[in-house]
Structure 1
Amino acid sequence: MAIQTKPIPALYTVYILRSTVRHTSLYIGSTPNPPRRLSQHNGVSKGGAARTSKGNLRPWEMVGLLSGFPSMVAALKFEWALTNPHLSLHIPSSSRLTVPGRTKRGRPRRPAKTLVSIISNIHLLLRVPSFSRWPLKLHFFAPEVHQAWKKWCSTVSEPLRESLVVVTDFGQAGLKASSKTKSAPHITDTDAETSGDSAMEDAEPWGIHALPLGYEPIKEYVAKGQNVFEFEREGNCVVCREAILSEQGLHAICTNDGCEGVGHLSCWSRHFLPGSDAGGDGNILPIQGQCPKCKGVVQWGDMMKELTLRVRGQKDVEKLLKTKRKRATKMKAPAKASAKHS
């Protein structure tokens, strides 16, 4: 098996596709680029899937998706489990919500998809050990789909983890209005709605077209990490207080603005999972915790994205930070020109 040499992707999603002609026709897929993939499903560009190629079902729309998958393989695993909840080994038999039908030869037949079945199985998969601790975020781009989610959540006794973020982003009455919401670790359900008048004036993209496809959301965080580690300003581990030796082991930096707390990866993990050395609750993957230096909340997923980008993706880092240098150069150019004229 090849060793993973790529950083955690900027974006990888599992999406729900719905026909705008017949809302009962649904499709599940995965992609790192939702706008491009939707264009393929609608026949605007090459690609897509045979299931979505029927002209009488187009155009399709993405009504929801999950983001934050740590790799393409991780997204494909979730996609397969969501598409085949009657067979997936990620779901215990006693917890299955979907029962397979039988063909004439006695083989299990995939049950037909409905909005409720997809919603209910997403809720189930987000609770099973295989996926419950992944840094996933749930997005809804259609009000009625979001309502279906809230209705299902109100009927299920098993809660999702408190740090799971649910974001809505949809235009009102078909208007292309931006209603983006920023995720926060303590928010579990964020509704973003815009009024008709303001939506008319707002030409910003919304829904899948407003999703960041690159690493821009963590640009400042990446720049901070580059500055600290390039100039060997790591200091002592914020957890164990021992000196951090450059290029010896894996070291992670606090995600919060203004804090340059650095620690050994193993120390951060133990700090976020108290009792892990003694067995604890059996969890080996942290979700979030408090930085010993700034006392702010640190998201493990964001920390790992920066770490893998720094260790495995220097080309991506250079591309991300190059924009800032180019802009600075362009800003200086007019000043030089004016100085010559004077």
Structure 2
Amino acid sequence: MAIQSKPIPALYTVYILRSTVRHASLYIGSTPNPPRRLSQHNGEAKGGAARTSKGNLRPWEMVGLVSGFPSMVAALKFEWALTNPHLSLHIPSSSRLTVTTGRTKRGRPRRPTKTLVSIVSNIHLLLRVPSFSRWPLKLHFFAPEVYEAWKKWCSTASEPLRESLVVVTDFGKIGAKRSKKTAPIPVPEDDNGEGVEDSTAEQAEPWGIHALPLDYEPIKDYVVKSQNVFEFEQEGNCVICRDEILSGQGLHAVCTNEGCEGVGHLSCWSRHFLPASDLDGDGTILPIHGHCPKCKGGVQWSDMMKELTLRVRGQKDIEKLLKTKRKRAAKAKAAAKSS
């Protein structure tokens, strides 16, 4: 059976799940859609994991996750390594932070009990090992105490993480009761303490996992720009080697910066970026970031590759994205006319 190539996914994550009833109960999983997956774990939709189906531990909450995986398989590899840090071959034996204690009835090494400290410490370790250290991963924390545990571990870890690693926090409204999808909206009260309707109350913005982009919407303008460049054969010369770019021949990438239509051979972009991506002389061939020779703006290799794979392998995804844009534009135009 032939393997079907797919574009880099809009979102794929490895998440940390915690019971709101018993904080010591933790679970690690992976998903392209955290809100939907959380609903499954809480029994609100079909498909939850057996280990999270105990009613006395529900509801569960996602307190942190890692995003930016280049494929589902990549996320599954990271998930397995984080779930089995005592066995994973991605971690050298001399670097293990978690060791097995005893064996199961089948003779396999028993999986150690997960704790918050063990999870954040092993995330830190996995982000440093060669298998994952140069991936375009991003850390998200949705609970203050989990983020504090992360910071505490980082301050004592034997080795630092790369400076370009992005860490995002989103705690909603701290100290207030939070709904599933949004931070709370204060309810006005009358003189008797009864709630009253308030037409001026604004809908709160989604927070946490509900604010994550689940589709390619964040790079929509970039996709449109690239589509125009290649559809109208406006590639010109490579911004790095200056040779003419032959339309439809080879892989070409476009600068990610707004207003810049600099196009280059994929191999040229790679060679141009490697010196600027803290190469340690270890033979690494995967860039992380660099600057466009045309506009001088900073460019993330992962953003460029997401658009390239979408253009080459995801025509249906592009059609869906542009169709959504046209629908929204038509609605906005109709609204403007009616007003």
- Is TM more than 0.5 here? yes
Q: In the alignment, is residue 312 of structure 1 matched against residue 286 of structure 2?
A: no
1:176 touches 1:205 (CA, 8 Å); kept in 2?
no
Question: Which digits, 9 at most, give the CA deviation of each residue in 1:47-76, with x for residues without a partner?
Answer: 111100001100000000001101000000
**SS in structure 2 of the partner of residue 30 of structure 1:** strand
Q: Specify the alignment match of 1:52 in structure 2.
A: 52
Aligned equivalents of 1:93, 1:86: Cα separation in 2: 9
User: Within 1, Cα distance between the matches of 2:156 and 2:313?
Assistant: 44
What is the aligned-residue RMSD (CA, Å)? 2.8
User: Secondary structure at 2:28's aligned position in 1?
Assistant: strand
| Offset at residue 274 of structure 1 (A) | 3.2
Say if 2:292 is the partner of 1:287. no
Per the alignment, residue 94 of structure 1 pairs with: 94
Corresponding residue for residue 326 of structure 1:
327
Map of 2:192 onto structure 1: none
Q: For residue 174 of structure 1, what is the amino acid of its counterpart?
A: A
Equivalent position amino acid for 1:32 in 2: P
Q: Is the 8 A contact 1:176 1:203 kept in 2?
A: no
Matching residue of 1:173: 175
- The aligned residue for residue 229 of structure 2 is 228
Alpha-carbon contact 2:104-2:110 (below 8 Å) kept: no
Query: Which portions of structure 1, spanning 4 or more consecutive aligned residues, are displaced by more than 6 angstroms?
Result: 334-338
What is the CA–CA distance in structure 2 between the aligned matches of 1:102 and 1:77, rounded to whole Å?
24
* Pairwise CA distance, 1:176: 4.3
Q: Which residue does 1:67 correspond to in 2? A: 67
- The alpha-carbon distance between structure 1 residues 286 and 20, as it changes in their structure 2 partners (threshold 3 A), is same
1:176–1:206 CA contact under 8 A, matched in 2 = no
Distance of aligned partners of 1:231 and 1:80 in 2 relative to their CA distance in 1, 3 Å threshold: same
Unmatched 5+ residue regions in structure 2? Answer: 188-200
| Matching residue's letter, 2:18 | R
Residue 238 (structure 1) aligns with = 239
Secondary structure of 1:319's partner? helix
CA shift for structure 1 position 174: 3.5
Distance in 1 (alpha carbons) for counterparts of 2:276 and 2:14: 34
Shift of 1:218: 0.5
- Equivalent residue letter for 2:170: D
Structure 1 equivalent of residue 16 of structure 2: 16
Which AA in structure 1 matches 2:297? G
Q: Which range moves more in the overlay, 281-290 or 200-209?
A: 200-209
* Counterpart position of 2:137: 136
**Distance change (3 Å), C-alpha of 1:260 and 1:176:** farther
Give the letter for the 2:141 counterpart. Answer: F
| 8 Å contact from structure 1 (residues 274, 280) kept in 2 | no
User: 2-side partners of 1:226 and 1:96: how far apart?
Assistant: 46
Matching residue's letter, 1:164:
L
Establish whether residue 127 from structure 1 lines up as the match of residue 124 from structure 2: no
Q: Which runs of 5+ in 1 are unaligned?
A: 181-192
Q: Which amino acid aligns with 2:41?
A: H
- Pick closer, same or farther for the CA change 1:336–1:15 going to 2, 3 Å: closer
Q: How far apart in 2 are the matches of 1:80 and 1:174?
A: 35
Mapped contact 1:9–1:70 kept (Cα < 8 A): yes
Task: Give the AA of the match of 1:109.
Answer: R
Which residue in the other structure is 2:195 paired with? Answer: none
Partner of 1:84: 84
Q: TM-score normalised to the size of structure 1?
A: 0.88
Matches of 1:139 and 1:146, distance apart in 2: 9
* Matched letter for residue 245 of structure 1: L
**What letter matches 1:41 in structure 2?**
H
CA contact (8 A) 1:240 1:267 kept: yes
1:5 maps to 2:12: no
TM value normalised by structure 2: 0.88
How much has 1:337 moved relative to structure 2? 9.0
Using the TM superposition, name which of 318-327 and 147-156 deviates more: 318-327
CA, structure 1 residues 334+274, in 2 after alignment: closer, same or farther (shift >3 Å)? Answer: closer
Q: How far does residue 243 in structure 1 lie from its aligned partner after superposition?
A: 0.4
Determine helix, strand or coil for the equivalent of 1:90.
Answer: coil
Equivalent pair of 1:290/1:298 in contact (CA under 8 Å): yes
